[in-house]
Amino acid sequence: MSVLPIETGTLVSVDLLLLFLVSVEPYLYNLITNSFTLPGASLDSGITTSLYAADMAGIFLVMAYFLHELTKEEKKLLPGRLLRSYRLMTYGTIATAALFLASILPIFWSVSVLGIQTRFIAWMGTFVVMVIRRSVEGRAKDPTLDQLVAASRAAN
C-alpha cells in the first residue's frame, strides 16, 4: 500500500470498500462462533457462514485488485524482479476468493465429512493455495539462485 497511488477515485472507493468489509468480518465471525457455543443458537440455513464467506471473498478480491494495480508494468510501481512474485500473489488471492465464493453454495453447508461441514473444509483450502503459490514461486527462484552461486564460484 505504501507504493500504491491511493489518490485516484477508483482506488479510494475500493479502499473504502475494503475498510467496510474488514470492519464487518469480526462481527460475522463472532456470530458464527456464538452459534456453536451458545445454547439455542443455530446456523440451520448457513446464512451467517454464507455472509462470512461473501465478506472474506470480497476482502480477497479487493486485495487482488490492489496487487493487480501494483503489477501493471507501465506504472513502474515495483522493481522488475518482484513483478512475477506479485503476479503469483494476485493469482493466489483470486483463487482464495474463489474458494470462499464457491463455499456459499448450499451443498457446502448440507454435506459434511467426519462431522465437519464442507464449507469449513473449503475455507481450510486457502492454506493449500498459499503453499502451492509459494512452491511455484520457489521453483522459479531456484534456477536463478543456482546461476548466482555458479557465477560466484566462477568469479572466485
* Higher per-residue confidence, 64 vs 7: 64
Name the helix (H) or strand (E) containing 59. Answer: helix 47-70
Task: Please count the helices (runs of H) and the strands (runs of E) in the chain.
Answer: 5, 2
pLDDT at 143: 45
Would you kindly state where each structural domain of the chain is located, as residue ranges? 9-155
Instruction: Tell whether the model's pLDDT for residue 128 goes beyond 80.
Output: yes
* Higher per-residue confidence, 58 vs 86: 58
Rounded Cα–Cα distance for residues 100 and 152 (Å)? 45
pLDDT at 56: 93
* Residues 67 and 88 sit within 8 Å (Cβ to Cβ): no
Mean pLDDT for 54-64 is: 94
* Coil/strand/helix, residue 114: coil
**Region of poorest pLDDT, from 3-7, 89-93, 113-117, 149-153:** 149-153
Over the stretch 95-126, which tens digit does the pLDDT of each residue have?
999 999 998 888 887 777 887 778 888 888 88
Over the stretch 16-58, which tens digit does the pLDDT of each residue have?
899 999 999 998 888 887 766 665 555 545 778 888 999 999 9
Mean pLDDT for 53-71 is: 90
Mean pLDDT for 4-12 is: 73
Rounded Cα–Cα distance for residues 14 and 65 (Å)? 9
Over the stretch 132-150, which tens digit does the pLDDT of each residue have?
877 877 765 544 545 445 5
Rg of the Cα atoms in the chain = 20
pLDDT at 78: 66
